[in-house]
Amino acid sequence: MLAQLMKYAWFLFLFCGARLFAGDLAEKYAPLGQLIIIPFASAPFPHPLRAQGHTYKDKVMSAAEHYSDSSVALFIPKDFHEGRRIDFVVHFHGWGATLTNALPKYRLIEQFSESERNAILIVPQGPVNAQDSFGGKLEDPDGFKRFIAEAMETLRQRGVIKNSQIGRIILSGHSGGYQVISSIVAVGGLSQKVREVWLFDALYARTERFVIWFDNHPGRFVDIYTEHGGTKEETQNLMAALQGNEVSFFAGEDSTATARDLRDHHLVFLFSQLPHDQVMQAHQMFRELLATSVLDGIRH
């Protein structure tokens, strides 16, 4: 009984703390736009495959502490205007993170706002502070389709949009975020809507799923890798395979690549000398990819 009470108390602490911090973040970002953080039925978690938690090496991660948060953040930038279709950028954080610390740490909203793209940013909560890349319900067949449908309905209920349809979608992931993206492009149900895929030091595995996607879709694929982030070998193997098949791509460094380099190539590979945890924000690369993307700019 004591163990159950302690478990409940811990869950209540996490839930209330997240709600309070979400309110603080909404106030913090109010000058840049509207931040909504709410639970989704179609959010990654909870999920049956993590109902008993998860063990990685010697670390045991309980379902209550790590796989029960169904929070999703939606950011609507200032001056956003509804068109016939609504474009989305969906970003997935990596290991050892939470939604509410990933937003400020990687300056996701600041960079999104600075890019002045007429789209909506969505960031779902993945495994909470866990060493786990599993994407929960977003790895299920058509799971991403249900997720975006719920996002659209949420935006309608809140008066952000009225009659728009789903437009172009960009998938972005840092570190362990690669796994859920690989499932989305393979079985998520909206592959034709996905126009770009960005991996921030995140190409660890499932490379064949990304290859199938960019071989069959015209959108941009961007792979940023580092010396010690664990993605260099996989990236180099992919580039070698593409060269062997006479597939053209751009390869350079994140610090010297120009907007034209980023904009004009279907496949982009960027080596970064930054540490693994700084590839998104230190050189404002999230902003640069947004600015050179297929997304329309905001009309002032």
- Give the model's pLDDT for residue 289: 98
Cα-Cα end-to-end distance for the chain: 59
In this prediction, residues 102-116 reach a mean pLDDT of: 98
Q: Report the C-alpha gap between 11 and 89 in whole angstroms.
A: 30
Q: Over range 236-247, report the average pLDDT.
A: 98
Compute CA distances 22 → 25, 45, 108, 209, whole Å. 5, 18, 15, 34
pLDDT, average across residues 227-255: 97
Q: Please check the confidence at residue 42 and state whether its pLDDT lies above 60.
A: yes
Query: Please, which residues have CB within 8 angstroms of residue 211's CB and are 6 or more apart in sequence?
Result: 238
What is the CB neighbour count within 10 angstroms for residue 297?
Answer: 11
pLDDT digits (tens, 9 = 90+) for 123-150: 999 999 999 999 999 999 999 999 999 9
- At 116 the pLDDT is 97
Break the chain into its structural domains and give their ranges. 2-291
Topology of 2-291 in CATH?
Rossmann fold (3.40.50)
Q: How would DSSP label each residue in 187-249?
A: HSS-TTTEEEEEEES--SS-HHHHHHHHHH--SEEEEEEESSSS-HHHHHHHHHHHHHTT---
